[in-house]
Amino acid sequence: MTGAFLAIEGIDGSGKTTVAKYIHDFLVDRGIEVVLTQEPTKGPIGDVIRKSLGKLELTPYQRALLFAADRHGHVQNVVMPALEQGKWVVTDRYLYSSLAYQGAEGVDMAFLRFINGFAPDADAVIHLEVPPDIGVSRLKNHDRFEDTEFLRKVKAVFDEILPRNTVSIDAGKPIETVLGKAEEVVLEMLED
């Protein structure tokens, strides 16, 4: 059986990390080889990005370029090798987060798409949809991107840019319900 590339997307506090881990464990339990990964990565550029979200002052275009640079390493060193070995890849955020967040910051969408042109589309995207105030209320430590007003914009851009192979899940529902829906998506992908 061949692998698949699944991206989990949504605003902060929507449940991405929880769902990604759950899907990872669900696949492992079925004896399926899966790589659980995330963006920003834990590599050197991912570190710079995390710092920049706190205090380092960067322009939105600089941030967009850093996310794309981080993603290039992620795709080349993690995603493609795993897919070539027939493994599943589940990523906690991907390309679509860049388009939505940096798009919401005012970076030109054509520019964002151009600098990410190397990044393959995911085979499927799960979009965890939650009202921004609920998402923010679930977070312990806030950075300045985790502001309800900004996340409203991000959500609007997600709605515009997510590809057709996106499954939206109402992530305002109890976690068991959300995980059950995510499981259905994965089961359907396993049947294909």
Ligand X SMILES: Nc1ncnc2c1ncn2[C@@H]1O[C@H](COP(=O)(O)OP(=O)(O)O)[C@@H](O)[C@H]1O
Q: What is the 3-state secondary structure (H, E, C) of 85-154?
A: CCCEEEEECCHHHHHHHHHHCCCCHHHHHHHCCCCCCCCEEEEEECCHHHHHHCCCCCCCCCCHHHHHHH
Size of the chain in residues: 192
Which of 19, 79 has the CB closer to ligand X?
19
Binding interface with ligand X (CB under 6 A): 10, 12-18, 138, 171, 173-175, 178
Instruction: Out of 17, 52, 148, 168, point to the residue binding Mg ion (CB under 5 A).
Output: 17
Burial of 152 (0-12, 13-18, 19+ CB in 10 A): middle
Which does residue 72 bind out of ligand X, Mg ion, none, counting CB within 5 to 8 angstroms by kind? none
Nearer to ligand X, 17 or 168 (CB): 17
Nearest approach, Cβ of residue 117 and ligand X (Å): 26
21 binds Mg ion (CB under 5 A): no
Phi, psi at 9, each rounded to 5°? -130, 160
Contact of 21 with 91, CB cutoff 8 Å: no
Residues paired with 9 in a beta bridge: 127
Smallest distance, Å, CB 73 to ligand X?
21
> Which CB sits closer to ligand X, 162 or 171?
171
Q: Choose between 12 and 87: whose C-beta lies nearer to Mg ion.
A: 12
| Smallest gap from residue 16 Cβ to Mg ion (A) | 5
According to DSSP, residue 76 is labeled I
Contact flags string 115-134 toward Mg ion, x per CB under 5 A: --------------------
Q: Which is nearer to ligand X, 13 or 132 (CB)?
A: 13
Which range, of 17-25, 78-86, 97-105, 141-149, touches Mg ion by CB under 5 A? 17-25
Q: Are 152 and 63 within 8 A, CB to CB?
A: no
Q: CB under 5 to 8 A by kind: which of Mg ion, ligand X, none does 138 bind?
A: ligand X
**Cis amide prior to 131 (ω within 30 degrees):** no
Binding site for Mg ion (CB under 5 A): 16-17
